[in-house]
Amino acid sequence: MEFSVLKSDILKYLNMIAPLAQSYKGNKTILKNVLMDLDEDRLRLVSANDESEMMVDIPSSLLQVTEYGKAAVPAASLNSICKSDSGRKVAPDDDRIYFAVDTIVGKLTATHGSNQYEINTFDANLYPNMTKVDSRVAFDITQGELSDILSATAFAMASDDVRHFLNGLNVTLKSKRLHCVASDSHRLSFYSMDLLNEEDDEKTASVIIAKNGINALRKLIAADDSSITVTLGQTYAKFTTGSFTFVTKLIDDKCIDGDHVFPNEKQIKAKIKIDRESWIAAVKSAQVLLTAEDKGKMIVDIKDQMMILKTRNASQEASSCTLPLPECDCQDLHFAINGLYLTSVLECLACKDVLFCLTDKSSVIEPIENNNYCSEKFIIMLVQL
């Protein structure tokens, strides 16, 4: 394999995939490498760990190719070479890196200006291939819509919980309606939207996408109107755009039923309309003396159209903040809630006012401006007094 490419071009694609291989901490040496696969159409770069695989294609129009081939190259070394200074002043559109791979001796030689590097390569045939997903259903949404979904749900995923269904994003497709649920058992986020461009009414699927895969995906997608195809298989989910393909593992467990986790009207004892930004400011003011070990516990009293937020840290220092509730006509209330969880929910919303509903054991928060196309709700469990 022998080719050259502008430094800026290869860095653009390498920056997308190298972190996946560089962050791998397991004992499979091959996964610390980037697979470079060059043919007449493109240079394919692939990185992976035990849960996910990332693939990008550099089009042939950006390459000057002498010989095709493929090899697995250490991700950290390749990334360092491509970021290095060439040692000479050249225009960005003339700053090329020349690569040559000798598969017999297992070496890659990279020449960049006056610099030359020689690093080991590995047999490309040893590199795993997860991109052939056994598709059950596939649908298209925009990257902006997917970004909104993940922003509203990903923060509530658990880590290493023995209840495996909590360690990822629960995704359910029912006809043309997509439901996404995440929970760590203390809080729950629910996002639902219609797939407006979807024509098939018979598509159904329920999967749980692992947390590490969701976090990696969030770094890849753009908050714009470009399309992304989501493919849900038996063991993997695949996300495909014009610039990358990302495959990640599914968790083998039963999904949370987002339609039946919220309290019914009989269980709700109070409903209060609250200005979101004012509430965020009040909660943060009440928590200024808290440290991580205080775990965000906040006492809340609601009476006389006022919400009083109180906190006390381990050193017995106290804070109190009062928030007017001009539209509150409920009876006096006294409860405790995690202020950190409350802030995380309120900050991921983009509405002016929220509806705060209270039961004996939990609270429900949702934007006043919810519509039929897209809706979101959140549960935060109350803290024992």
Task: Taking residues 342-353, report their average pLDDT.
Answer: 93
Task: Taking residues 54-62, report their average pLDDT.
Answer: 94
User: What is d(CA 14, CA 45) in angstroms, rounded to the nearest whole number?
Assistant: 8
Neighbours of 367 (CB within 10 A): 18
Q: Where are the alpha helices (DSSP H) in 276-378?
A: 276-286, 339-347
pLDDT in tens, 353-375: 999 999 999 999 999 876 667 88
Residue 380 has pLDDT above 90, yes or no: yes
pTM of the predicted model as reported, rounded to 2 decimal places: 0.87
What residue ranges in 325-370 does DSSP mark as E strands?
333-338, 353-358, 362-367
At residue 153, the 3 state secondary structure works out as helix
Place of tokens 């795993």: 128
Under the banding of pLDDT at 50, 70 and 90, the label for residue 141 is very high
- Provide CB contacts within 8 A for 94, sequence distance 6+: none
Identify residue 293 by its one-letter amino acid code: E
Residue 262's φ and ψ, nearest 5 degrees, are -95, 145
189 beta partners: 182, 378
The structural domains of the chain, ordered by start, are: 2-126 (3.10.150.10), 135-249 (3.10.150.10), 270-381 (3.10.150.10)
Task: Taking residues 318-338, report their average pLDDT.
Answer: 93
User: What is d(CA 361, CA 384) in angstroms, rounded to the nearest whole number?
Assistant: 9
Q: Please, are residues 208 and 172 in contact by the beta-carbon 8 Å criterion?
A: no
Strands in 107-112's sheet, in edge-to-edge order, are 63-67, 2-6, 96-102, 107-112, 115-120
User: What is d(CA 77, CA 118) in angstroms, rounded to the nearest whole number?
Assistant: 10
- Would you state the pLDDT for residue 369? 77
Q: Please, are residues 148 and 375 in contact by the beta-carbon 8 Å criterion?
A: no
Q: Please, are residues 304 and 328 in contact by the beta-carbon 8 Å criterion?
A: no
User: DSSP state, 250?
Assistant: B
Q: Is 185 left (phi over 0), alpha (psi -120 to 50) or beta?
A: left
With both helix axes pointing from N to C terminus, report the angle between 211-220 and 143-153 in degrees, rounded to the nearest 10.
140
- Would you state the pLDDT for residue 331? 87
User: What is d(CA 211, CA 89) in angstroms, rounded to the nearest whole number?
Assistant: 44
User: What is d(CA 110, CA 58) in angstroms, rounded to the nearest whole number?
Assistant: 18
User: What is d(CA 322, CA 283) in angstroms, rounded to the nearest whole number?
Assistant: 9
For the ranges 131-140, 205-214, 362-371, the lowest mean pLDDT is seen at 131-140
User: What is d(CA 333, CA 356) in angstroms, rounded to the nearest whole number?
Assistant: 13
